[in-house]
């Protein structure tokens, strides 16, 4: 009788992803795959590969959950949040839907703070920043309907048309805010530089 192979901690953490990968290998070696054209194989591998990426991402998020803090958690007013409870949310990504189970730190009458959300730089809404970026890029090149079709065919994310419109509007607002701040920064730097040059010129001319 053969001895059972020892499973490493990494394999245990990503067990579902390994099973999915084995499934893909098995599919490639099945009789059906040997009757498929190159284009058909490409489409099927893209579909199954995207699901594999989703499972990998999910299991990585599970490893980082629930995101307890070793130090006291304080809000913007410096008030310590002592009440904790497990909270669950879904994130729509370019690979599909994943879940994040994280601990929330709260106090009566206030919304909970989630250190893991901050660590992962998660947006407040359902759609990941990368998915939002893809939507904005596609919308800049085409109509909302074409954007919806492109996101549906090139990613695993599901974004309804109304949400596509909202994400594009928000992206435009974010850009306008960034551009305004950038212009202010450039103006301040230029003003400071001019003022410095003027003062240095005075110092040189009038010792």
Q: Does residue 162 fall inside a structural domain?
A: yes
Rounded mean pLDDT of 6-10?
74
* One domain, residues 107 and 84: yes
**CA pair distance 38, 43, nearest whole angstrom:** 9
Same domain, 103 and 165: no
Query: If residue 103 lies in a helix (H) or strand (E), which one and from where to where?
Result: strand 96-106
**Residue 155 clears pLDDT 70, i.e. is over it:** yes
Tell me the per-residue pLDDT of 48-81, one tens digit each, with 9 for 90 and over: 999 999 999 999 999 999 988 888 888 887 888 8
State the pLDDT at residue 5.
Answer: 59
Are 31 and 89 in a shared domain? Answer: no
Domain boundary among 122, 137, 155: 122
**Any domain includes 4:** no
Examine residue 189 and state whether it is found in any structural domain, yes or no: yes
Q: Which of 3-7, 147-151, 155-159 is least confident?
A: 3-7
Q: Which domain holds residue 40?
A: 13-64
Q: Are 42 and 153 in contact (CB under 8 A)?
A: no
Quote the number of domains for the chain: 3
**Reduced to 3 states, what is the DSSP secondary structure of residue 82?**
coil
Same domain, 80 and 24: no
Asked whether residue 33 is assigned to any structural domain, the reply reads: yes
Q: 205 CB contacts (<8 Å, ≥6 apart)?
A: none
**Do residues 191 and 137 share a domain?**
yes
pLDDT of 107: 85
Tokens for 169? 């509007």
Domain end among 122, 154, 188: 122
149 and 163 within one domain: yes
Specify whether the CB–CB gap between 61 and 100 falls below 8 A.
yes
Instruction: Identify the H or E element spanning 102.
Output: strand 96-106
In a shared domain, residues 25 and 35: yes
- The yes-or-no verdict on residue 6 having pLDDT over 90 is no
Residue 50 domain-assigned (yes or no): yes
Q: What is the pLDDT of residues 18-43, one digit of tens each?
A: 999 999 999 999 999 999 999 999 99
- Report the pLDDT averaged over residues 95-118: 91
Question: What pLDDT score was predicted for residue 171?
Answer: 73
Tokens 């194989």 -> residue? 41
């Amino acid at each position: 009788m053969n001895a059972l192979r020892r499973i490493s901690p990494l394999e245990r953490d990503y067990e579902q992803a390994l099973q999915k990968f084995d499934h893909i290998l098995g599919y490639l070696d099945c009789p059906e795959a040997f009757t498929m054209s190159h284009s058909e194989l490409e489409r099927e591998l893209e579909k199954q590969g995207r699901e594999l990426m989703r499972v990998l991402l999910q299991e990585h998020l599970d490893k980082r959950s629930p995101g307890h803090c070793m130090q006291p958690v304080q809000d913007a007013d410096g008030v310590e949040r002592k009440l904790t409870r497990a909270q669950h949310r879904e994130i729509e990504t370019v690979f599909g839907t994943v879940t994040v189970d994280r601990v929330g730190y709260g106090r009566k009458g206030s919304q909970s703070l989630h250190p893991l959300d901050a660590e992962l730089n998660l947006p407040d809404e359902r759609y990941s920043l990368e998915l939002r970026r893809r939507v904005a890029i596609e919308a800049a090149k085409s109509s909302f309907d074409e954007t919806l079709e492109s996101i549906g065919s090139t990613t695993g994310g599901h974004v309804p048309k109304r949400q596509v419109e909202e994400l594009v509007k928000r992206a435009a607002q974010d850009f306008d805010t960034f551009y305004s701040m950038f212009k202010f920064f450039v103006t301040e730097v230029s003003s400071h530089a001019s003022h410095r040059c003027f003062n240095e010129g005075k110092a040189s001319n009038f010792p």
